[in-house]
Structure 1
Amino acid sequence: MEQVYGEIASAYEVLFPALHRYEERVERFLSAVVTPGARVLDVGCGPGLHTRGLDASIDVVGTDLSEEMLALARAARPGGTWYRHSYHQPFPSEWGRFHVALAIGCLDFCDDLPRVLKHLADALEPGGTLLFTVLERRPGLDGHEVPTQRIQTAGPEVTLHLYSFEETARAVTEAGLLPRTYTHAPGWVQLTEQRTLWFGWWEVERR
């Protein structure tokens, strides 16, 4: 994934205007839960679109696999802290814990959702809130019927992982997270086929 996102980093905002495709769900979430002095973890941050506009009092830590994306995030919010890190690995304890976390449009490549959600839960303060998305598997919904999809990019082929509502709910519970809200809504557009892929949008809280 580093190669794929590194290659599209310079054109990412043109190809994927996040604030429009997500119908302002991320902004509404952040405005409701982020308070002055909060610590926010932005997982799979890309160029930092979701957190660059947060108040300067907010401590933003972002992670991505692409150094090109991280360079854009640093330029957009120099006061943030940006690391190359895979969500398949635990978040380092020296980063501390967070009041709020985002994992938007990045768990599409997650092959072990229970493990990754446990890493995210461990990074949160008790009572901390996470908004995450997964590609949701649903019978009868075009492009969403199978657990995995192989997608040809301009570079290497990648595998998308789709989880059913029941699988995600079980992974949330096993990670020690409490569901607060859920909706099934558009995610991103598969450009080669001009087909919208749908997310399960989950807002959860660490118990």
Structure 2
Amino acid sequence: MKPRIFLDVEAAYDRWADSYDALDNPMVYAATAALERQLERFAGKSVAELGCGTGRNLAALSRAGAAVLWGCDLSARMLEKANHAAPGATLVQHDITRPLPVETGRFDAALVSLAYEHVARLDEPAAELARILRPGGFALILEIHPFMTLSGKGAHFPDGDREIHMPSHPHSFSDWLTALRHADLTVTGCTEWRGRDFGPDAPPKLRERYADTPFLVEWVVSR
């Protein structure tokens, strides 16, 4: 077993940036596949991605016809990658646990993918997500399933002969529902993705180890 190194979220993602899109990461694969099934909803919309990482999702949203793209991320190195992946997007280095630097009701839609895992409390981020959406807007949230985080699983990656870990906070379904309700966000869809739901092209670890285990949770919420 590789020795574990624990870093804060910003330092970990700065180090992960160069290999993030190249690694065979089942969770990233699952979130990407789930997003692909929802992309047409973003066509013609002004869209914010909170925790945009390397910009892979922003690039997909652009290809799907999103009209305006804005993204933020804590990691400067991730944003360097995002600048190349989605050159038409406005990008800001920002911590999503703090008030977002955009006006109220600016966006038609928002995406949060594999970012709330690193947030200790969901209340304030959910309220900010609601604030930046116009009335009638929607958000897609893709996150590691509570079954995974509550059993001690969390984001990590290999770095040479070491394994890098970072803060990962488990959120139960009651945590999610309470935070979304307090933010006046209405849940219009909730899907629990299992390994076998992603078909034969999914990474073997996802198909075999987590075939019948809820692996990813997908929330669709409306303002």
Which TM-score band applies after superposition, normalised by the shorter structure?
0.7 to 0.9
8 Å Cα contact 2:30-2:216 kept in structure 1: no
Which residue of structure 1 lines up, in the alignment, with residue 93 of structure 2?
84
Pairing partner for 1:168 from 176, 180, 188: 176
Structure 1 residue 156: Cα displacement: 6.5
**AA aligned opposite 1:174:** H
Deviations 1:9-49 (A, max 9, x none): 11111113777323621122221x2232x211011111111
Which TM-score applies when normalising by structure 2? 0.75
The whole-number CA distance in structure 1 between the counterparts of 2:66 and 2:140 is 21
Structure 1 residue 145: Cα displacement: 4.1
Q: Which moves more between the two structures, 123-132 or 19-28?
A: 19-28
Deviations 1:79-132 (A, max 9, x none): 111110111111123486111101111111111101110011101111111111
The whole-number CA distance in structure 2 between the counterparts of 1:113 and 1:8 is 24
Which residue of structure 2 lines up, in the alignment, with residue 11 of structure 1?
19
8 Å Cα contact 1:47-1:70 kept in structure 2: yes
Which residue of structure 2 lines up, in the alignment, with residue 30 of structure 1?
39
**AA aligned opposite 1:4:** A
Deviations 1:124-150 (A, max 9, x none): 111111111344434xxx66347x979
8 Å Cα contact 1:149-1:160 kept in structure 2: yes
**AA aligned opposite 1:168:** W
In structure 2, runs of 5+ residues without a counterpart are 1-8, 196-202
Q: Which has the higher strand share?
A: 1
In structure 1, runs of 5+ residues without a counterpart are none
Measured on the aligned residues, the alpha-carbon RMSD in Å equals 3.1
Which residue of structure 2 lines up, in the alignment, with residue 40 of structure 1?
47
The number of residue pairs the alignment matches comes to: 196
**AA aligned opposite 1:128:** G
Which residue of structure 2 lines up, in the alignment, with residue 50 of structure 1?
57
Query: Percent identity between the aligned chains?
Result: 28
Which residue of structure 2 lines up, in the alignment, with residue 64 of structure 1?
73
Structure 1 residue 157: Cα displacement: 4.7
Mark the CA change 1:156 to 1:59 in structure 2 (over 3 Å): closer, same or farther: same
Q: Which moves more between the two structures, 48-57 or 73-82?
A: 48-57
Aligned residue runs from structure 1 range 1-207, under 5 A: 1-15=9-23, 16=25, 20-22=29-31, 24-31=33-40, 33-36=41-44, 38-53=45-60, 54-55=62-63, 58-94=67-103, 97-138=106-147, 144-145=150-151, 154=162, 157-186=165-194, 198-206=215-223
**AA aligned opposite 1:158:** M
Match of 1:161, SS state, is coil
Structure 1 residue 152: Cα displacement: 9.0
Runs of 4+ in 1 over 4 A off after TM superposition: 148-157, 194-197
Higher RCO structure (Cα 8 Å, ≥6 apart) = 2
The whole-number CA distance in structure 2 between the counterparts of 1:73 and 1:151 is 20
Match of 2:150, SS state, is coil
Q: Which moves more between the two structures, 45-54 or 156-165?
A: 156-165
Q: Which has the higher helix share?
A: 2
8 Å Cα contact 1:18-1:49 kept in structure 2: no
The whole-number CA distance in structure 2 between the counterparts of 1:13 and 1:149 is 18
